Structure 1
């Protein structure tokens, strides 16, 4: 297995083999919490306008997302794991529009053979699927801030996944401590907070869920994110973690 470490929207567009799109704060984390809450599917879209058009055509759909980290007008939820975790999403379709994560999925679908999305919340399940299928090439794409500039949380998450795939020990405990002191965390805390503080800990809960997420093309050609459950594995079969 050859692992390519890529970044930003340009990296997503250049992904090959199996692409793993990473946006820790907060799109990929939101997707995991939405599926854990019973969502039937998520429709990632490239723009707020596309999301609103889908809502107009399907009033039963729910909208989640952000622009500049804030909930767009007409949306049901922000790009917030705490908001979707508190909602009743059972059997619902969630349309998801974000500046980095969902745009990265759209971009990667144009270049990669298969597209997954990953956050710390479903890390082990994603690694287990990749180890089980052993694709020749895995493109790990750290989406960064708005898909335009690097973000430490996405790069660290990508490296954590790469370490699991190569059986290199990880030390997760230091990651939340480090990230809390970075510019990326300013949106959660203190005078600069503009999103729910609870989102920080939810995004940095390791292996909260035992499923991985895959982007597929539906029969109508629209991109959809779906939940794939992984069989329970004995601890001895999983890569080493610290």
Structure 2
């Protein structure tokens, strides 16, 4: 499998298969939203679009980065989200990196959103699809966020070497600037458990696939075959 690791500004062509990685915290939050029962997540291009969607669909749940704000129901924190009942709900998510990265590759034939919490399911989906070339979108810090790059490299390795040890990749993520800022309260809309929750490997058994549905980019959980059902790598 040929792999590229690019920041959002480096996306000059349309990849065939794209894996959008935002460990801290958009993709981790998305996975938790599905675990808490959300049916789908609409990826908004702007805060104004998120609020407009919420206005048209009052039963939808609007979520953003940073502190709480009028019109939004939740913030981008797995620690705060894990106690929320989202059964059957639609979530509208707007963040500074993760949603931007997904929308930047919306023309790709396959778009996955990923973090450590869905690493194995994501790698397994890449294996079952037989993807020859994969572009990993490292969303944080214009492609320099080490927690995102470490996770992307881990998933890429695991797609071809299922027994890959995550320890070194997790160490890099734990020592990243994002992890430090979250732990020290530099960022707003944070729960003390956020970093630990973002570094849980394979917490959830599904991958997350984003597709265009009309004018919207929509993320949904995607069940993947168990290892026993796969062809040998």
* TM-score (norm: length of structure 2): 0.91
Aligned-residue Cα RMSD (Å) equals: 2.2
Partner of 2:109: 113
> Does the Cα contact within 8 Å between 2:62 and 2:91 map onto a contact in 1?
yes
> Does the Cα contact within 8 Å between 2:212 and 2:218 map onto a contact in 1?
yes
Unaligned segments of structure 2, at least 5 residues: none
**Alpha-carbon separation, structure 2, partners of 1:233 and 1:174:** 24
Unaligned segments of structure 1, at least 5 residues: none
Q: 1:231 aligned to 2:233?
A: no
Deviations 1:10-52 (A, max 9, x none): 2455341110000000001111111111100000111111000
- Change in Cα spacing, 1:235 to 1:192, as seen in structure 2 (3 Å) is farther
Partner of 2:193: 198
User: How many residues get paired?
Assistant: 232
SS in 2 for 1:212: strand
Partner of 1:130: 126
Matches within 5 A, 1:1-242: 1-7=1-7, 9-12=8-11, 14-66=13-65, 69-110=66-107, 112-145=108-141, 148=142, 150-167=144-161, 170-190=164-184, 192=186, 194=188, 195-218=190-213, 220-234=214-228
SS in 1 for 2:28: helix
Superposed structure 1 runs of 4+ greater than 4 Å apart = 235-239
* TM-score (norm: length of structure 1): 0.87
> Does the Cα contact within 8 Å between 1:211 and 1:227 map onto a contact in 2?
yes
CA deviation after TM superposition for structure 1 residue 197, in Å:
1.8
Structure 1 window deviating more from structure 2 (194-203 vs 16-25): it is 194-203
> Does the Cα contact within 8 Å between 1:21 and 1:140 map onto a contact in 2?
yes
> Does the Cα contact within 8 Å between 1:39 and 1:90 map onto a contact in 2?
yes
Structure 1 window deviating more from structure 2 (79-88 vs 186-195): it is 186-195
